[in-house]
Structure 1
Amino acid sequence: MSSLLTLSKTQLESLGAKDFQMSLDKMTLDAIKRFKSTRTLPDQFNQIIDSQIAKLNAEAARARKSNAKTSGGASGKSEGKKAAKPSKSGADDGYIPFPERFKAWWNGTSASADSRKDRPSRAAKKKDPVARRREITQSSPQAPTEEWIRRIRDRVWGEGFTLPGGGSVILNMAKISQMQAEDVAADILPGGIGPAKALMGRYPNMVTCFEVEPLEAKRLEDESEGVVRGQVFNYQNPDFGIRAFDRMFCRENMCFVPNREMFLRNAAGALRGGGRFVFNDIVLFPRDDEHEDVTEWRKAEPEKPVLWSVEEYQDKLGKCRLDLKNTANITKSYVAMVESEWRKVATTLASDPLPPEGVDALMAEGQLWQTRIAALKSGQVGIVRFSTVLKTIRQLSGP
């Protein structure tokens, strides 16, 4: 049975009470609370959840009371007597390593008790009890630093990348655009040096990267040792230059640009004759009512998205001198890429652990991607690739 966290509203409502309860039984208390706070459920399911939370709270209270009695009894013994050796279950102390708990959190299930065999030694626990206590008790991330967010994105998507697919995505876009070795290219809002490096590994010319923050644009130039040109992107008045590029690329970011029609006009103005603009974006597949998972995703995004349908894009592109050659719905492969990369991260945490601030960033980034994937799985939004060509003067003037 799929995790409740990944099911759409329709799929949830089709579950019977027994199946719903069985799914809850596999979830931790924190996962259940998080699930309840982010979903609107039928009254019957809310009652089942409330009952499960009360049950788990009672079990936790009994466990604390039992531990308190054990501690009190041990402290009452005379100092001359050797304290009784704790039982195996007491020595375990309920510890489940963070890698296992992260996998459980991502999947919305309970961490396996079998994972306790990987717990740190008693000596390691004594050596750093504060760090261990924070790891066990931490259930939600603190506000992570930009530096740690960047490190986590490097770890999840590959160094210099902020979106799934690594260099293969930008290279595929270049192939679709029929890019040639002599073409001058621009990458809009890449978030890192990775895509530009991938392009320059195949095509020798300098790549211009447009970023919102001046410091980020400068950082990309510095990291590339001058072979990438960093330019500042102004959300309100995007300026890409005039007839500056043969090829332009942008990944799933245009839905966050407030003045998108100006964006498209200026992008067209920056293309040379026969130039091509290939981009991916999150689009809306219209329905009467917005899906709950889409609403939750909108709330979670730092920059609030404004979604266009494919038909709206086709109309706007035509008005901006961009001829839409083809589109491709790549949602299914996109979701598969995201889930695959996060599973890989979960398997590396045991051998390559994170400090507390890294855990905060990992959880924050993970929560954001959970909402994105849930929205994409709802079927109301999707990732679509658009391939466009700048219209010639003859095409504009007609036959």
Structure 2
Amino acid sequence: MRKLNAMQRSAVEKTLAKRPKPPGEADDSDGADAKSSGKPEKKRAKEAGTVMEILLRVIAWWEGMETDDVARAKGITRKAQKQKPSSAAIKKPAAPAMPEKAEPPKSLSRLEIIQELWGPGFSLPGSADFALRVASLADFTRKGRFLDLTPGLGGGMRAVAAKHGVSILGIEHDLEIAAEAMRLSAKEGMSETAPVHACGPDGLEPADFNPAGGHAAIFMREAMFAVADREKMLAEIHRGLCDGGSLVLTDFVLADGIDTEMDEAAALTAWRAAEGGIASPWSEAEYRQAIAAQDYKLESFADISSEYLPLIQAGWRQLHDCLQNAKLLPETAPTLIEEGAVWLARSQALETKQLRLVLIRAIRLPARNGGAEAGEYPASQDAGDIDE
């Protein structure tokens, strides 16, 4: 029987509900809460959404179990499955049908799984429409270069370059993704207008933002929350932008009052763990203060969580449909579980409204004291965490 190794199981256990306790076995944390409130303890099973449903099926297949048994063990309620028509209601064919040739099992690579989720050439939710919506905050009539610090597979960058008739350079931290993004750009005849390069082994460096003052816009999606020295990052971006140039980014931020007026939700804690423990997002107030301190004029700061969540769910429904009709080799399971654990954690944290996804546009003002000094650029806490 196939079994998950410790690392694979840990990634899933951080996001799936804990197993229900057998009768008579108390849960210390829940019991303490119940006793202090004087109310009887109530346990509510989580209902499986699209992402969790896929994880349940993958785990069941991987461990040789029934999906319902895995769900019960995790205290998760599955949505009602469509009933198959009874044999009496099925009309027998006039002639026996020829048996279909069984499709051999196949293996999906990490890049293939990512594109099954988000579409060909994309590695984040939303595909071309969302990428164009985000990029539309920049002023493409300005002279200067355009730089994408999180191009992923380059699909969004290529869509923006084609629509606005500009050239955009992408700098990607993941070597495998960067190579595939460059191949896709070359395949579409955009190796000059939408090239993607891999950054160095230590992450982004000052040279990546050169020429100083030469960029009309710099883009960054869902990555700043994992950068160790965000003030330094904002300073380097400021140095790279021309006067009036745009910083356009999406990022995860904390709702006001977390850890001061309200406790952090369990789903938010699980999200931090699923991101590898390097997720330390700012609050909106902290973001606004940091942007102002780096000589930017904040033009917009919009909460787009309600727009983003359906995009995540749509991607997982798309993958779910793919898995329904595909037979996969066992080596595909760990990648599916790892990817699923991250996106399930992100979805559940956003649903608490303690975590939000925001869309920010800031304009570069002339730097004080003659401009920001360039120094050695520190990588994120993990150089691989400036993601996709």
Under a length normalisation based on structure 1, what TM-score does the superposition of the two structures give? 0.64
Give the CA deviation at 1:312. 0.9
One-letter code aligned to 1:191: G
Q: Distance in 1 between matches of 2:274 and 2:217?
A: 32
One-letter code aligned to 1:296: A
Q: Distance in 2 between matches of 1:116 and 1:236?
A: 57
Q: Distance in 2 between matches of 1:334 and 1:349?
A: 23
| Match of residue 256 from structure 1 | 226
Contact kept in structure 2, 1:328 and 1:385, CA below 8 Å: yes
Aligned mate of 1:35, from 5, 9, 17:
17
One-letter code aligned to 1:36: K
Contact kept in structure 1, 2:150 and 2:219, CA below 8 Å: no
What residue ranges of structure 2 are gaps of 5+ in the alignment? Answer: 1-11, 22-26, 32-39, 46-63, 87-96, 372-388
Correspondence list, 1:8-27, <5 A: none
Q: Distance in 1 between matches of 2:116 and 2:85?
A: 25
| Match of residue 368 from structure 1 | 342
Contact kept in structure 1, 2:268 and 2:355, CA below 8 Å: yes
| Match of residue 258 from structure 2 | 287
Q: Pairwise CA RMSD of aligned residues?
A: 4.2
Give the CA deviation at 1:287. 2.0
Contact kept in structure 2, 1:334 and 1:383, CA below 8 Å: yes
| Match of residue 186 from structure 1 | 147
Give the CA deviation at 1:361. 2.3
| Match of residue 301 from structure 1 | 275
| Match of residue 196 from structure 2 | 230
SS of 1:365's equivalent?
helix
| Match of residue 197 from structure 1 | 158
Change (3 A) 1:358 1:372: same
SS of 1:318's equivalent?
helix
| Match of residue 387 from structure 1 | 361
| Match of residue 84 from structure 1 | none
| Match of residue 386 from structure 2 | none
One-letter code aligned to 1:381: L
Give the CA deviation at 1:182. 5.8
Aligned mate of 2:301, from 321, 327, 332:
327
Contact kept in structure 1, 2:301 and 2:361, CA below 8 Å: yes
Contact kept in structure 1, 2:153 and 2:178, CA below 8 Å: no
Contact kept in structure 1, 2:143 and 2:216, CA below 8 Å: no
Q: Distance in 2 between matches of 1:38 and 1:246?
A: 55
| Match of residue 148 from structure 1 | 109
One-letter code aligned to 1:293: A
Aligned mate of 1:207, from 148, 168, 188:
168
| Match of residue 267 from structure 1 | 237
SS of 1:176's equivalent?
coil
Contact kept in structure 2, 1:251 and 1:280, CA below 8 Å: yes
SS of 1:220's equivalent?
helix
Q: Distance in 2 between matches of 1:313 and 1:329?
A: 13
| Match of residue 216 from structure 2 | 246
Change (3 A) 1:113 1:302: same
Contact kept in structure 2, 1:235 and 1:259, CA below 8 Å: no
SS of 1:258's equivalent?
coil
* Matched pairs, number: 300
Contact kept in structure 2, 1:237 and 1:262, CA below 8 Å: no
Contact kept in structure 2, 1:96 and 1:116, CA below 8 Å: no
One-letter code aligned to 1:365: E
Give the CA deviation at 1:236. 6.9
SS of 2:140's equivalent?
coil
One-letter code aligned to 1:174: A
1:60-109 residue CA offsets vs partner (Å, 9 max, x unmatched): xxxxxxxxxxxxxxxxxxxxxxxxxxxxxxxxxx99799xx99xx9x851
Contact kept in structure 2, 1:278 and 1:385, CA below 8 Å: yes
Q: Distance in 1 between matches of 2:265 and 2:118?
A: 28
Give the CA deviation at 1:364. 2.5
Q: Distance in 2 between matches of 1:150 and 1:215?
A: 9
Contact kept in structure 2, 1:252 and 1:281, CA below 8 Å: yes
Q: Distance in 2 between matches of 1:159 and 1:265?
A: 34
Contact kept in structure 1, 2:303 and 2:356, CA below 8 Å: yes
Under a length normalisation based on structure 2, what TM-score does the superposition of the two structures give? 0.65
Structure with higher RCO (Cα < 8 A, 6+ apart)? 2
Aligned mate of 2:332, from 358, 362, 368:
358
1:235-263 residue CA offsets vs partner (Å, 9 max, x unmatched): 47454221231111111111011111111
Q: Name whichever structure is richer in helix by fraction.
A: 1
| Match of residue 72 from structure 1 | none
Q: Distance in 2 between matches of 1:183 and 1:243?
A: 9
